[in-house]
Structure 1
Amino acid sequence: MSADQLTILPPDHSLKGHVAPPGSKSITNRALLLAGLAKGTSRLTGALKSDDTRYMAEALRAMGVTVDEPDATTFVVTSSGKLNPPSEPLFLGNAGTATRFLTAAVALGQGRFVVDGDQHMRKRPIQPLVDALRSLGVAVEAPTGCPPVMIDATGRFEKNRVVIDAGLSSQYVSALLMAAAIAAEPFEIELAGADIGARGYIDLTLSAMRAFGAKVEQPSSSVWRIEPTGYTATDFHIEPDASAATYLWGAEVLTGGSIDIGTPATEFTQPDAKAYDVISAFPHMPAVIDGSQMQDAIPTIAVLAAFNQTPVRFVGIANLRVKECDRIRALSTGLNNIRQGLATEEGDDLVVASDPALAGQTLPASIDTFADHRIAMSFALAGLKINGITILDPGCVAKTYPHYWDALSSLGVALDRG
């Protein structure tokens, strides 16, 4: 989408129809990396084709992996099982999964690797992963604590055990888990402290690893033991993206509609599917919502909360400050642009005042998305009930859901791209 803004025109009808969300970003990028580390040819179906997964695919190609795309939802990955040093830095845009996962994976390569991203990725922390790799004897530098990361890899870890601080992101653990299976000996990962980002994403990692032949045991909630099996090329199907589904579930309850997304909420394995029960309770969502295990769904629920019958406090969301943008600040800014006082930041909690009477009003508001796809897609929901909601930089949805605006249009939502 070339327009730099888009205004949603509230529909005068309930939204009904069928919309198939794209494939899971989280699972697609895990599967792409594992296929790149497996010797042979893997076929990944149901995959997401978006900015984030394109960056991962291009990085693998730059390291000697063949990645073909025979259709809109398939990757065919052929690899020698090794990642070769690229001739230039690996540019990964603002793809956190690709950046963290590859940083650990290339540490077991041979030669110099530079992992970098755009201006937004260069503000996202990676120091805990760098510290963990350095403790394993890897020559790695990240001068700012964020990308770019420079790795001089020798093909091995000097130790077979690492302690990682995953308080900022579970992606650090996932990155080490996936790399560990290609190490030379059995490997153990232990959490430093009890805090961890959405633990459900580690379950996604383990499931994908096992599908590609890895053997992992978990003797306790904070320890994983990984055998040095390497990976076996395989055919792997990717389920739809649960985070993307939250926007459609939200549109359904806001308009009293019926949107068939093709997959029952109970069949998702991704953590954000937990949001379905909360969204289904609208307009009587609970007074306190813990977002720690469904972080990417919080922008959706926070916008819905503006129309809830009673105020909502979001807790356990401190990690949202280090996502594609500071999502707590972006949400409070956007909601207060709609009406001052609608949202309040209290430490790392977000309190949404809630007012069902907002529906049907004309409240012109330009929503700064901060180049964050989830801010754009969640605030579009406000435009289903309020006149005058304009999304700035609507093209940023290409990060994970390139056809989001088409999906809304297919349900009868009019969009002014002027």
Structure 2
Amino acid sequence: MRVPPLRLIEHAIAHLRAQAGRDHALPISLLIVNVDRFKLVNDLCGHAAGDRLIEHIRDRCARSSRNLQVIHIGADEFACLLPVTAFDSGEGDRIADRIAERLLEAVGDPVSLGRHIVHPTASIGIATDRFGTLSPEELLRGASIALSHAKQAGGGTVQRFCPAMFADLSDRATLEDDLRGGLLRGELLPYYQPIVSLGSRKIARFEALVRWHHPHRGLLGPDQFLTIAEEAGLDDDLLFSMVRQACRNAGEWEGRLGLSINMTPRQVCDPTVALRLLRIVFASGMRPDRFTVEITEDAMMHNVVAAQETVSTLREAGIRIALDDFGTGYTSLSRICQLPLDMIKIDRSLIQSLDTDAGRKLVKVVVDLGQSLSMPVTAEGIETPRQARLLNEIGCTFGQGYLFGRAAPASLAARLAGAAPLAIAS
């Protein structure tokens, strides 16, 4: 029977106090080390290899400091206890910070797992009991909250708990409750950003991007709530709500313009999501070839077999598939050639490099690749007329960005759909 993490930490703290000859009041730092993207290692290399990786990391953590007590408390998580007697001199926090940086370095050394070389990273949350007055539960809660902030920062980082983090956590819980109600009340709406033909400057389709009309916080962008929706298991409800509304709005557009919508990596790997999406599209009466699902490179790498199955199901029903944010993930050019895709979207980071000769050549390589595979290429993040002109000259088919318009409500998108080509200065 697995021992709960709190019980393990309680025993470890009691042991450290006994070693120090104290019944209480032992200043201590708790570092929670979480291996980033450990599930990907299990999926790619197998669970036995994942177990070996955990053993490697535990040994490395233990060797990083002779004063550190390391406990395996979860599949991909360790508790590292550091008794520190230097808090009165102001050195305690700096010692814990140095240990945390040493742990990141130790974890980051490559590990050979059969045919694969893995480059692991970790996120670390630190909580410190400077006066030995906190309970193990309070210490664990603080370190866990700090770890959550480290994970939200993208992984591979260290965060130290501070009281403001608890306020952030409370605010996040409130926002999650608001989100559940907002979905029922219809507060989350699709906004539409035009995607234009770079040759004619006519709108070819709109990408639906979610916006939340929060009753107290105002208009919120997806960066403020999408992660919460995914963690709370509300992302599917949000996707289906956006598809229903977007299909209904698209029925009002002149010229039968196309519609694009995004799926998360998890949704791309869930065949039930694709089937429900198809039912909504067909029930709306919208022709499936007007509908494009945009997926990222990470979605294809998360679970290649499941993602390919989902993509094939959608394409067989007539839905188009676009590879979004190309240039930011791990997809190789050879893998692009093997995927059942209809178009490629170049990430804005590559478009920003157009001012350099190397940047233009790189973008042209992607455009030429798309043309050779009969996949039209869309450039994202176009902000200047010069960028639009250069992209048109190298053969890029479509463009999207603030130069052509920001995401706008359905009423404005309907007006733009029937308007003349966009007038953009050269």
Structure 2 length as normaliser, TM-score?
A: 0.29
Structure (1/2) with the larger helix percentage = 2
User: Counting strand residues as a fraction of each chain, which structure ranks higher?
Assistant: 1
> Greater relative contact order: 1 or 2 (C-alpha under 8 angstroms, separation 6 or more)?
1
